[in-house]
Amino acid sequence: MDEDRDLHPKQPRAIHSALVVLEEVAKAGPGVTVRELVDRLALPRATVYRLVNLLVQEEYLVRLADISGLALGRKVAELAGPRPSAGMRLSRAARERLAEVRARMSPLAVHLVAYEDDGPRPLDADPVVPLHDAAALARDPQRSAAGRLWLADRRDGGAGLAVQSDALAAGWACAAIPLRAEDGALVAALCVAGPSDRMEALLGAAQALRGDAERLAALLT
């Protein structure tokens, strides 16, 4: 094919190296540093730095603002293709409110998760710090605050704030604030996530989001 003429002989090796970097970041979880990647990978230091810069530029990786580390980016989440919530849509007003919340809560990640019969599903993941393992929300609800909130609500009803101090990624914690319909049914959760060694700040942020959660609930369609 004509496209093959543009493929340099060394490019497949570079592509493989980039995938190795992505795999190591996924394995290590949010917060892994470039220096740690250099120590873990059998790649030249200059190659790792060059690949990380390229992957950040192309949005396959993101640099975390609050810690000197990396996380998987938006494009990786899109490639993973987790099934989004099918029964709920965000209005324009809801998207604008969510953008305001994220700007205020940065550098913490803020995700909006919807609930279906089989568990939580991502409705609007933070574009800067995507969900580490979105598919695990429904597969293993105990591993996320959103999942724990759903389980508690099914068991006891009227569940409040839920917390998971060892969330979908090692060293990462999250808290989930319920969004309820007029009849009190749990329909979604506003989730805030950050490093687990900053749990006090994370809980404070979650408490501050309760009013936003109520306003967002009224905007969901």
Q: Encode pLDDT of 151-187 as tens digits.
A: 999 888 877 899 988 765 667 889 999 999 888 899 9
The pLDDT of residue 84 is above 80? no
Least trusted range by pLDDT, from 28-37, 74-83, 158-167 = 74-83
The per-residue pLDDT of the chain, averaged, comes to 83
At residue 89, the pLDDT reads 75
Q: Is the dihedral of CA 105, 109, 115, 116 positive or negative?
A: positive
Cα–Cα distance measured from residue 117 to residue 38, given in angstroms and rounded to the nearest whole number: 44
**Could you report the per-residue pLDDT of 114-148, keeping only the tens digit for each?**
998 778 888 998 988 877 777 778 777 888 899 99
Tokens for 173, please give them. 């914690």
Q: Where are the beta strands (DSSP E) in 157-219?
A: 162-164, 172-180, 186-195
pTM: 0.65
Which one, of 158, 154, 169, 160, lies nearest residue 203 by Cα?
160
